[in-house]
Amino acid sequence: MASEALIPMTIMSTAVNDDVPRLLGPDMFAFEFDAELRRAVRLRTQLTLVVVEAVGDREATPLPVTEMYSTPPLGQIAKLVGTRIRETDLLGQTAAGALSLVLVDADYEHSTHVINRLVSRIEREAFGQPVKIQFGAACYPSHALDAASLTREALSRRVANCHGGIEPAPADSPSY
């Protein structure tokens, strides 16, 4: 309990929605990301940061995490990702408003397999509106050695693009 007193109250709250209780707010995500990065350095393991953005939202004002759920498509994507990652992985919103995922003990090659599975699932999801999603990823220590550099690399190193939001065809419609 003594260590909790050292953490600012803005970082203390992690669960913002019962659907994805592991989604971290920007402050808590930065804190946990830094802790995992220090752990990877100490244990000499790899760690991959995956950034998920809706095209055009990089310049947008970051949403409070509580509003992220009411803002398609990021809310739906957070729910999809949150149910498909390991308990040890982190899911959160960065200060810039992007949805981010930290894959602990994962190298870049294996992380791209995780991203491809997420892309496949997102492409089958109906968001109510067409949307283009970009995935970027960077790995410690291959691409960068600190949190800020790893984030910049993940934002500039595009791994996959996908389109979601097209309503599935009704069951009685022919598919071509």
Q: Is 42 a domain residue? A: yes
Residues 95-122: b if buried by 16+ CB within 10 A, e if exposed: ebbbbbbbbbbbebeebbebbeebbebb
13-18: long-range pairs with CB below 8 Å, 24+: 16/65, 16/66, 16/68, 16/69, 17/66, 17/69
Q: How many whole angstroms separate alpha carbon 106 and alpha carbon 31? A: 19
Domain containing 88 equals 20-164
Q: Is 10 a domain residue? A: no
pTM of the entire structure?
0.75
Task: Compare 83 and 169 and report the one with higher pLDDT.
Answer: 83
* pLDDT tens sequence across 137-176: 999 999 999 999 999 999 888 888 876 654 444 444 444 3
Q: Is 176 a domain residue? A: no
Q: How many domains does the chain have?
A: 1
What is the CATH number for 37? Answer: 3.30.70.270
Nearest to 135 by CA among 50, 56, 75: 50
Q: Is 66 a domain residue? A: yes
What pLDDT score was predicted for residue 21? 54
Q: Is 89 a domain residue? A: yes
88 confidence band (pLDDT: 50, 70, 90)? confident
Range of weakest confidence among 6-10, 23-27, 65-69, 95-99: 6-10
As given in the structure block, the two tokens for residue 7 are: 């953490």
Q: How many whole angstroms separate alpha carbon 135 and alpha carbon 145? A: 20
Q: Is 54 a domain residue? A: yes
